[in-house]
Amino acid sequence: HDNMKEVLKNKTDIEHIMRSALNEDGFELFYQPKVNTITGDISGFEALIRLKAHPISPGQFIPIAEERGLINNIGRWVTLNAIKQISLWREKGLEGKRISINFSSEQIRDHGYIDFLIASLNEYQVEPKDLEIEITESIFLEETEVTLLYLNRLKAIGLNISLDDFGTGYSSLSYLTYMPVDMVKLDKSLNDKFLEADSKGLIDALISLAHCLNLEITAEGIERVDQYYKLKEGGCDYIQGYLFSKPLKVEDIETIYYKNMLDKIV
């Protein structure tokens, strides 16, 4: 019943909850492994934000944060904490895996962001190649030149750029030929719909398309082993989903950091 109450909270309540979370250390990051399809090794982790004290999902509060002008502060908090985490894990001997963070299209208007990012990387002696930024197609609705310049600056620093939720937006392919993107993430809804026996060809085609554009490809929201085998056959590079692991707390990631995730399905 607590859950119901939370769901019914209005935007202004959620805004206040987010404001206090920013001031009082009320957010935390969970991490979900991204698994190399062939080897089963964990290649990296996606950082996903949570409210420590409230069962309100980011799918619910992030759009409100964007609307109420809180996304820049949240985005910086996520950036700094992911960078800190890379350095904390390195101190424990856990290294070599990239963390990806979600970047809301609104954040392109946070003018100090790139300087903040560089300063944070320097402070914690983290190499840019260990960090990846996940953008969504809506960023291409912004002025193309501004976006291109912005993404090129991120690339120039040495970060990887990943295009999230691929296949759900307005998917114009032309921008993929000139935007500096390294990876596409095939959305769960596409995988759910097209990994069935008779329509798998579409997924195979999208994987080939990504590879033709020199992009790597991750399939998201994979829950079943038959989906895994189909994606492997189609040449998909990485898999993310409950089949291998839900997003986990830091301590739980530490116990599986070097594990082979294929052990889970054989």
User: Least distance in Å: CB of 59 to ligand C2E?
Assistant: 4
Distance of alpha carbon 135 from alpha carbon 104, whole angstroms = 7
Distance of alpha carbon 26 from alpha carbon 243, whole angstroms = 29
Return the one option of Ca ion, ligand C2E, none that residue 242 interacts with (CB less than 5 to 8 A, by type).
Answer: ligand C2E
- Contact between 3 and ligand C2E by CB under 6 A: the answer reads no
Nearest CA among 38, 100, 31, 26 for reference residue 260 = 38
For residue 182, which amino acid is it? D
Cα torsion angle, 172, 166, 7, 104, sign: negative
User: Least distance in Å: CB of 217 to ligand C2E?
Assistant: 15
Taking CB under 6 A as the criterion, the residue among 1, 4, 10, 59 binding ligand C2E is 59
| Burial class, 133, CB count within 10 angstroms (exposed 0-12 / middle 13-18 / buried 19+) | buried
- Contact between 85 and ligand C2E by CB under 6 A: the answer reads no
Distance of alpha carbon 33 from alpha carbon 87, whole angstroms = 18
Distance of alpha carbon 93 from alpha carbon 72, whole angstroms = 32
> How many CA atoms within 13 Å lie on the side-chain side of 105?
17
User: Least distance in Å: CB of 263 to Ca ion?
Assistant: 25
Q: Which stretch binds ligand C2E (CB under 6 A): 1-9, 141-149, 192-200, 220-228?
A: 220-228
- Contact between 131 and ligand C2E by CB under 6 A: the answer reads no
Distance of alpha carbon 257 from alpha carbon 173, whole angstroms = 35
User: Least distance in Å: CB of 186 to ligand C2E?
Assistant: 11
User: Least distance in Å: CB of 28 to ligand C2E?
Assistant: 11
Q: Which stretch binds ligand C2E (CB under 6 A): 9-17, 53-61, 120-128, 143-151?
A: 53-61
> How many CA atoms within 13 Å lie on the side-chain side of 217?
24
**From residue 95 to residue 124, what is the string marking binding to ligand C2E with x (rule CB under 6 A)?**
-------x-x--------------------
59 or 93: CB nearest Ca ion? 59
Return the one option of ligand C2E, Ca ion, none that residue 33 interacts with (CB less than 5 to 8 A, by type).
Answer: none
105 or 260: CB nearest ligand C2E? 105
> Considering CB under 6 A, how many residues would be counted as binding ligand C2E?
19
Distance of alpha carbon 42 from alpha carbon 259, whole angstroms = 7
Taking CB under 6 A as the criterion, the residue among 14, 62, 99, 179 binding ligand C2E is 62
Binding residues for Ca ion, rule: CB under 5 A, are: 102, 134, 164-165
Q: Under DSSP, is residue 62 helix (H, G, I), strand (E, B) or coil?
A: helix
> How many CA atoms within 13 Å lie on the side-chain side of 265?
20
What are the residues binding ligand C2E (CB under 6 A)?
Answer: 32, 48-49, 57-59, 62, 78, 102, 104, 164-165, 221-223, 240-242, 247
